[in-house]
């Protein structure tokens, strides 16, 4: 297949590009580098099945990207860490709305499959636990996180509208917390934050009292789910994440044990609207995609620690 990928220099998309190429596809990739990093794609330079151009998903696609046939359009572009989308709220809303529409138009023009990477944030601070795809969510529409949550909810809505109105073969992934190599050291998310702090022997900053929960999925598992979903005929959203849930305090202890860090825990204020609990119900992904995560947290974290040790070594 010839596959167009937006946000390709991001953490998840760069791993997805690796998988697409390994599966024998041709990838036409772009990113505006707002939050993505050229380093994530450096190993692809010159690959015969990979083409990259710098581009903002909210702008019209250049003709060179669309003049030849496309079989799939994968829309991954968006700031994704709370720190990033709080810094770029308008850009986040733009890429979820205008950007999604442009990518849907490309899919429609080429009669290509379309994949939207949506988010567990569609469930907001959930009142149903674990979260099933049929739960409509508890989102504050005017809170600080709304730029991300509502952008993705709009993106889901317009994706369904393009399917219903134009018959585009759309798919929607609701991605839960994902971690692994190529996360940005300073993107503020809990995995890079704790690993960075532990490796520098700094206190681990736990927000609130640390009783809020998350469930962490290793990136290769997530990418496998995205790949299967892209090929599927499921039109409604599918949760992709690891159902192993833990409190943030337990997670901090785990990072300390894994890195051997003696650093203390430092409690800091809980950000506004921080969801209190999050765990995917992945019954649908198991049934429809035959998918479930395989990499245990300990193994995934070890690979991630190795990566961050390397980043630290380069940074001196
Ligand atoms: N968190 C924390 N310390 C940090 C960064 C995050 O305790 O240095 C908490 C945050 O408040 C949230 C959880 O860890 O409850 C996951 O945060 P993250 O930013 O990784 O992603 P989210 O799941 O909130 O989108």
Task: Judge whether 176 and 239 are in contact, CB under 8 Å.
Answer: yes
How does residue 156 score in pLDDT terms, banded at 50, 70 and 90? very high
Tokens representing residue 294 in the block: 């395989």
Predicted confidence (pLDDT) per residue in 47-97, tens digit: 999 999 999 999 999 999 999 999 999 999 999 999 999 999 999 999 999
Looking at residue 314, its pLDDT comes to 72
Share of the chain above pLDDT 90, in %: 96
**Cα–Cα distance for residue pair 142/21, rounded to 1 Å:** 40
Which of the residue ranges 13-17, 193-197, 260-264, 297-301 would you say has the lowest mean pLDDT?
260-264
Closest to 123 (Cα-Cα) out of 156, 167, 160: 156
Would you please indicate which residues are annotated as catalytic (active-site) residues? 148
pLDDT at residue 312, rounded to an integer: 73
Q: Which of 83, 189, 276 to mutate to test the pocket of ligand 1 (most atoms within 8 A of CB)?
A: 189
Q: Fold for domain 2-178+217-240? A: Rossmann fold (3.40.50)
Question: What is the structure's pLDDT at 316?
Answer: 58
Closest protein CA for atom 11 of ligand 1: 207
**DSSP string covering 18-69, please?**
HHHHHTT-EEEEEE--SS--GGGGGGGTT-TTEEEEE--TTSPPPHHHHSS-
Reported as a single tens digit per residue, the pLDDT across 218-256 is: 999 999 999 999 999 999 999 999 999 999 999 999 999
To the nearest whole number, what is the mean pLDDT of the chain? 97
Atom of ligand 1 lying closest to residue 121 CA? 25
Atom of ligand 1 nearest to the CA of 177: 23
Q: Which residue has the tokens 């204020």?
A: 269
In CATH, what number does 181-214+244-279+295-309 get? 3.90.25.10
Residue nearest to atom 3 of ligand 1 (CA): 206
At 157-166, the pLDDT tens digits run: 999 999 999 9
Q: Which residue intervals of the chain bear CATH 3.40.50.720?
A: 2-178+217-240
Measured by CA distance, the residue closest to atom 1 of ligand 1 is 190
**Atom 23 of ligand 1, residue of closest alpha carbon:** 177
Q: Is the pLDDT assigned to residue 45 strictly greater than 70?
A: yes
What residues does ligand 1 touch, defined as CB less than 6 Å away? 81-82, 177, 188-190, 193, 205-207, 212, 214, 248, 271, 274
What percent of the chain has pLDDT above 70?
99
Name the pLDDT band for 200 (thresholds 50, 70, 90).
very high
Beta carbons of 311 and 160 less than 8 angstroms apart: no
Which residue intervals of the chain bear CATH 3.90.25.10?
181-214+244-279+295-309
Predicted confidence (pLDDT) per residue in 90-132, tens digit:
999 999 999 999 999 999 999 999 999 999 999 999 999 999 9
For the whole model, what pTM was predicted? 0.97
Give kind and range of the element (H or E) at residue 5. Answer: strand 2-6
Is-cis flag, bond preceding 130, omega within 30?
Answer: yes
| pLDDT over threshold 80, residue 181 | yes
Mutate to test the pocket of ligand 1, among 148, 180, 248, 254 (most ligand atoms within 8 A of CB): 248
């Amino acid at each position: 297949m010839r596959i167009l990928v937006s946000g390709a220099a991001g953490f998840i998309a760069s791993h997805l590009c690796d998988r697409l190429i390994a599966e024998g596809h041709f990838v036409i990739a772009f990113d505006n580098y707002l939050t993505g990093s050229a380093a994530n794609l450096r190993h692809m330079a010159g690959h015969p099945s990979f083409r990259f151009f710098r581009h903002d998903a909210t702008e019209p696609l250049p003709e060179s990207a669309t003049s030849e046939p496309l079989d799939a359009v994968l829309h991954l572009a968006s700031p994704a860490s709370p720190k990033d989308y709080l810094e770029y709220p308008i850009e986040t809303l733009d890429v979820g709305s205008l950007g999604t529409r442009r990518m849907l138009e490309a899919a429609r023009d080429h009669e290509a499959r379309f994949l939207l990477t949506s988010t567990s944030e569609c469930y907001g601070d959930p009142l149903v636990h674990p979260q099933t795809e049929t739960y409509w969510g508890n989102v504050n529409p005017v809170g600080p996180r709304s730029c991300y949550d509502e952008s993705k909810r709009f993106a889901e809505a317009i994706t369904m509208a393009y399917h219903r109105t134009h018959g585009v073969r759309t798919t929607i992934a609701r991605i839960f917390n994902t971690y692994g190599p190529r996360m940005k050291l300073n993107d503020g998310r809990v995995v890079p934050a704790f690993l960075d702090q532990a490796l520098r022997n700094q206190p681990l900053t736990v927000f609130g009292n640390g009783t809020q929960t998350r469930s962490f999925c290793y990136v290769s598992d997530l990418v496998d789910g995205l790949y299967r979903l892209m090929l599927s005929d499921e039109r409604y959203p599918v949760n992709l994440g690891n159902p192993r849930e833990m409190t943030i305090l337990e997670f901090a202890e785990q990072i300390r044990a894994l890195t051997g860090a003696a650093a203390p825990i430092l409690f800091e204020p809980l950000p506004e609207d921080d969801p209190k609990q999050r765990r995917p119900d992945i019954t649908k992904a198991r049934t429809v995609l035959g998918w479930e995560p395989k990499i245990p947290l300990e193994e995934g974290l070890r690979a991630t620690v190795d990566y961050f040790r390397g980043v630290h070594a380069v940074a001196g």
